Amino acid sequence: MSECALDLRDVRKRFGSAEIIRGANLQVEKGERCAIIGPNGAGKSTLFNLITGRFPASSGEILLNGSSIMGLKPFEIYRRGLSRGFQITNIFHRLSVYENLRCSVLWSLGYRYSFWQKLSSLPDVKERADEVLDLIGLRDRQNTPAGLLTYAEQRALEIGIAIAGDAAVILLDEPTAGMSRSETDAAIEMIRRITQGKTLLVVEHDMSVVFALAEKIAVLVFGEIIASGSPNDIRNNPRVREAYLGEYSAVDRTE
């Protein structure tokens, strides 16, 4: 078996007396695209918050590329190569698409304390911002203020900001939520493109997106990963069918 990009071992999280994550175990291999599915309130966002260091886990172990990231701050985990896409909230609406990407590249390359430097003297910044612009398919919109983009374009920009630093492990939370079918199809293509050779962990409710993107699916129910495996394994897993039947029937409709 190849080395794990992410390895969660018996991870638990309590809020007061409520245990929300109850011994989650998950291994995501390098270069694998893994989707986490599960009913509302199962703990998917909480799990993301634990992996990115936003909340400390109550116990267990989280390894990134074989090293523990327990107790690290979000920016320290980011520096170790894990980046999370946020939903629009970290876009500067008055800056153009290109300027948003350039800010993110500047920060990720460690230039955040040298904004007074002439940007033309930083060719690596320009090169990476240009590269990301093409990857997310917003070249035609590069001079448009981010606030004037369509919703789907803003989601693409948000993903661009997440990948600007060239992180090897990318976390995306419902990247196609609120999109039309054609926007969703375009987003799936874009996510495939940007995650080529990288590791992806995605939370997604839309099973057609899950099946189009994921090589591995992990099913989270009441804070526990009750099954993980290939899409076929998950489809045929009786425990998954039993625990997740209401929403799981959507899987059958994609067959």
Ligand X SMILES: Nc1ncnc2c1ncn2[C@@H]1O[C@H](COP(=O)(O)OP(=O)(O)OP(=O)(O)O)[C@@H](O)[C@H]1O
Q: Note the residues at the interface with ligand X (CB under 6 A).
A: 15, 20, 38, 40-46
The continuous run of DSSP H or E covering 81 comes out as none
Residues found in the chain: 255
CB closer to ligand X out of 88 and 95:
88
CB closer to ligand X out of 135 and 171:
171
CB closer to ligand X out of 44 and 198:
44
Sign of torsion, CA 50 189 196 150? negative
CB closer to ligand X out of 84 and 141:
84
Residue 22: CB atoms within 10 Å: 16
**Measured from the CB of residue 47, what is the shortest distance to ligand X in angstroms?**
7
**Measured from the CB of residue 44, what is the shortest distance to ligand X in angstroms?**
4
Q: What is the DSSP string of 148-169?
A: GS-HHHHHHHHHHHHHTT--SE
- Are 175 and 155 a contacting pair, CB within 8 Å? yes
The residue among 8, 14, 43, 33 whose CA lies nearest residue 216 is: 33
Write the DSSP symbol of residue 3: P
Interior/surface letters 184-218, b for 16+ CB within 10 angstroms, e for the rest: bebbbebbeebbeebbbbbbbbbbbbbbbbbebbb
CB closer to ligand X out of 38 and 165:
38
**Measured from the CB of residue 173, what is the shortest distance to ligand X in angstroms?**
8
CB closer to ligand X out of 41 and 74:
41
**Measured from the CB of residue 13, what is the shortest distance to ligand X in angstroms?**
8
**Measured from the CB of residue 46, what is the shortest distance to ligand X in angstroms?**
3
**Measured from the CB of residue 43, what is the shortest distance to ligand X in angstroms?**
4
